[in-house]
Amino acid sequence: MNKTLLVIIDGLTGAAIEKTTTPTLDYLIQKGAFAPGIKTVTPSITLPSHFSIFTSLAPYSHGVLTNTALPNMSATAQSLFGHVKNNGGTVSSFYSWEHLRNLALPGTMDHSFLLRLRQKQDLIELAGIAACHILHQTPDFCFVYFEWTDIIGHRFGWMSPEYLGAVKMVDRALGLIVEGIVREGNYHLIVTSDHGGKGKSHLEDSSEITQVPLIAFGPDIRENFRIEGEVSLLDIAPTIAALLNIPPHFAWEGKGLAQMMEKKPYLGDLRQAS
């Protein structure tokens, strides 16, 4: 099984990458594949969006519609964590918001680490711990969640100087992980967001909120490649399955982004983006 890392930067907008200094994200865009604005879901809030990313289903299909601590996911939905585990892979996660533990059923995770962010340096600590784990334990699939941008967006406003500073800090944290996987050489990396933001919230139906960047990097990803066609959060789980060389789950509604891959992925019933 190949290895893949998913990094979700909560509340990241594509405009923020253009407006501030992000050497890590810039490097990944240059050396990998990039879509400046993929579609989120409705409602564009953290937990429903994450469940859509991991189950490849819209919120009204997977059943998680709010940021509840006790989500009631549909019995027919299959999380990416469980799917990788059922196909013989090892799975890890590093996050700062406790509700995200519900993305995996009890007993699924090989390693899970929670660190609540009380100050920006906690972000660097979380990234360092994740980077060390990835290098030494080499999980087949690893999820890393960076919350700091969303915290600062709600506090000071999206695209405020403080928010752009938070994006720079997250880019620095991401750099700790990227340095390791570049040296290791056998990891694919997907970086995206759950939603954007406008003002101090993300409840409107506007492109600043409903479109987020997607970056892919790794040995089987085309270099300096622009991803074309309509892409959404639902396409992430099937794409990761293809990178892991396992079939997509039959209940997933998204399509694998085969266009950005150098080698022909495991297709199964994988539907390519138009």
**pLDDT confidence of residue 264:** 55
Condensed to tens digits (0 to 9), the pLDDT of residues 49-67 reads 999 999 999 999 999 999 9
- Write down the domain spans for the chain: 3-260
- Distance set, CA 118 to CA 123, 124, 126, 189, 219 (Å): 9, 12, 12, 27, 36
**pLDDT confidence of residue 273:** 38
Q: Which two tokens stand for residue 227?
A: 């991803």
The pTM of this model reads 0.95
**pLDDT confidence of residue 269:** 41
What is the share, in percent, of the chain residues with pLDDT greater than 70?
96
132 or 266, which is more confident?
132
- Using the predicted structure, report yes or no on whether residue 266 has a pLDDT greater than 90: no
Condensed to tens digits (0 to 9), the pLDDT of residues 167-211 reads 999 999 999 999 989 887 899 999 999 999 999 999 888 899 999
Q: Are 214 and 34 in contact (CB under 8 A)?
A: yes
Fold held by 3-260: Alkaline Phosphatase, subunit A (3.40.720)
